[in-house]
Amino acid sequence: MEDKIDALCVNTIRMLSVDAVEKAKSGHPGAPMGLAAVAYVLWTRFLKHNPQNPSWPDRDRFVLSAGHGSMLLYSMLHLTGYKDISLEQIKQFRQWGSRTPGHPERELAAGVEVTTGPLGQGFGNGVGMAIAEAYLAARYNRPGFAMIDHFTYAIVSDGDLMEGVAAEAASMAGHLKLGKLIYLYDNNRISLAASTDLTFTEDVAKRFAAYGWHTQTVEDGNDLNAVEQALSAARSDTTRPSLISVRTNIGYGSPGKQGTFEAHGSPLGPEETKLTKQKLGWPLDQPFHLPEEALARFRGSLSQGQKAEAEWNERLAAYAKNFPDLAKELEQVMRGELPKDWDAAIPEFPA
């Protein structure tokens, strides 16, 4: 069910992104505006994460392959309580020395899983993460002890899906039946300088079905219930990776630029920002406005994440009692150390 707070939260994502791009006088407001509802549903209703411990090993992974839309990621990280992305960091978007560069960089802020920007790269990274999850689950999970049990989500763009690396990675994901890999395709039908009708008219869903993916289409990216239902269906199919094609409107809410390439890679401009705020019922004289009701809804992630990690820690303690050798090795791997005889299965070829 959608309520007034849901709508307020979605518009908070939009306008926080718009204000940051406007202040920087540079950036990509269109994707965050079009994807705000999709990100809201994913992050508040599905994503398993603990903002107070961003490196918790069994968290879900989120990759913004469409890295140019970085303000969407920074907005979600700030709103759900990640300390590295403060409001001051949002205000320093795209400024030298900030944690909020124009494209996300993994080493700068906790919560940014992958450095993205080059089209197709994040798509491949996500497939690699899902392979890692499947391998670790097969090696360490035991009946009653699902120590490795998380999903990998990504938002991918038209530009990502035009790249060869995405095709290769998608083919492998289908072959490996990576059922915990779920990609949301931002099908906004707009590229850098024109409609995708000029160069990209293939049936993406059919291509991915041929790769062995579970495919769905959400006709309205602002329909929270439809997005939620599609994500639920994707999670329930554990034998195939999922692609959800979501029809969005780039620059949603902008009276003069919605649905056009002009919303893609430059600020809306002072006048269009004013018109957008008027249309969405947003305060005109309060840049970076964060309604308390919206923040309260977003910050629910803090308690939810703490609870999920606490339950996992209890399970890990019981696992260590029942499978001490495996638990020791798992903890070693989680520290980034190689286990004993890790290379025993690698064949040797005499020179």
* β-pair type (214-218, 152-157): unpaired
* Level-2 CATH architecture, domain 4-334: 3-Layer(aba) Sandwich (3.40)
Range of lowest pLDDT (71-75, 194-198, 274-278):
194-198
* pTM (whole model) above 0.85: yes
Tell whether the torsion through CA atoms of 63, 254, 88 and 8 is positive or negative.
negative
213 neighbors 186 (Cβ within 8 angstroms): no
Task: Measure the CA–CA gap between 334 and 12, rounded to whole angstroms.
Answer: 36
For residue 350, give every residue at least 6 positions away whose Cβ sits within 8 Å of its Cβ, in sequence order, or none: none
Q: Exposed, middle or buried by CB within 10 Å (0-12, 13-18, 19+), for 297?
A: buried
Q: What is the pLDDT of residues 92-149, one digit of tens each?
A: 999 999 999 999 999 999 999 999 999 999 999 999 999 999 999 999 999 999 999 9
Range list of H helices, the chain: 4-24, 30-45, 70-79, 87-91, 121-140, 158-162, 164-176, 204-211, 224-236, 270-280, 292-298, 300-322, 324-334
pLDDT of residue 237: 98
Statement: residue 197 has pLDDT above 90: no
Q: Is the pLDDT of residue 2 over 80?
A: no
Q: List, for residues 30-40, the tens digit of each pLDDT value.
A: 999 999 999 99
Q: For residue 175, what pLDDT is reported?
A: 99
Residue 246: phi and psi, rounded to 5, are -110, 120
Report yes or no: 87 and 290 within 8 Å, Cβ to Cβ: yes
Reported as a single tens digit per residue, the pLDDT across 66-101 is 999 999 999 999 999 999 999 999 999 999 999 999
Q: Predicted confidence band at 301 (pLDDT cuts at 50, 70, 90)?
A: confident
**Per-residue pLDDT, 337:** 93
Q: Does residue 297 surpass a pLDDT of 70?
A: yes
The pLDDT score that the predictor gives to residue 259 is: 95
Place of tokens 């993460």: 129
pLDDT of residue 1: 54
Map out the domains of the chain as residue ranges. Answer: 4-334
Q: Quote the CA–CA distance of 64 and 38 in Å, as a whole number.
A: 12
Read off the amino acid at residue 338: L
Secondary element (H or E) of residue 152: strand 152-157
In the predicted structure, residue 351 carries a pLDDT above the cut 90: no
